[in-house]
Amino acid sequence: MSAGHSPQAFANAAQAKTYRLSDAAKKRIDKELGKYPADQRQSAVMASLAICQDEHGWVSPCVIEEVASYIGMAPIAVQEVATFYNMYDTSPVGRFKLGVCTNLPCQLRDGKKAAEFLKTRLGIDFNETTPDGVFTLKELECLGACGDAPVMLVNNKRMCSFMDAQKLDALLAELRAAAKE
């Protein structure tokens, strides 16, 4: 199964101006909060942001407000976390975010070739989204799997190794099909 935001999450990303924590998200956040002492609720901020991003498609200002309010942090402190780590998308992305590692070890094993291949196939550059909203292309730092170069990450969760042209085309076809479901 592909690691994609749900179609609903993508619709949310494209349209919704507001976001309210769902009961399901609250339940998942509560579980994270349970891992820390009661006076350390802020320790769950990263997990909370990831949960909301999965649900909403991106970390919008409303997501930041909701997380801050629910776990009892200042919104600016939550925003600092969201903007520090590149797995959080603080602007809307396509249904599938394709991150390509461009650090040196990957570059030495066709990482640049993989990135150029994707740019050509999708007709977009890094930090752009295809007009149909299916793909966003991002440049990533080392993913700690240099021996598997070229390495990619789909929606921050699914690691793809040894991405030659054939595997890239297969991945794009799989994700395009998933986007139609």
Tell me which residues touch ligand FES (CB under 6 A): 101, 103, 105-106, 142-143, 145-146, 149, 151
φ/ψ of 12, rounded to 5, equals -60, -45
| Least distance CB 94 / ligand FES (angstroms) | 22
Contact 80, 49 (CB under 8 A): no
* 70, 26 Cβ separation under 8 angstroms: yes
Helix, strand or coil for residue 162?
coil
The least distance separating ligand FES from the CB of residue 125, rounded to whole angstroms, comes to 20
Q: What is the end-to-end Cα distance of the chain in Å, rounded? A: 12
d(Cα 41, Cα 169) in Å, to the nearest integer? 43
Q: Based on CB atoms, which residue is closest to ligand FES, 36 or 85? A: 85
Q: Least Å distance between CB 161 and ligand FES?
A: 9
Q: 123: left (phi > 0), else alpha (psi -120 to 50), else beta?
A: left
Nearer to ligand FES, 3 or 145 (CB): 145
Query: Least distance (Å) from ligand FES to the CB of residue 143?
Result: 4
Q: Which is nearer to ligand FES, 105 or 133 (CB)?
A: 105
Residues 15 and 30: their CA atoms lie apart, in Å, by: 27
Q: 62 or 145, CB closer to ligand FES?
A: 145
Cis geometry, peptide bond prior to residue 92 (ω within 30 degrees of 0): no
**Shortest distance (Å) from residue 121 CB to ligand FES:** 20
Nearer to ligand FES, 14 or 108 (CB): 108
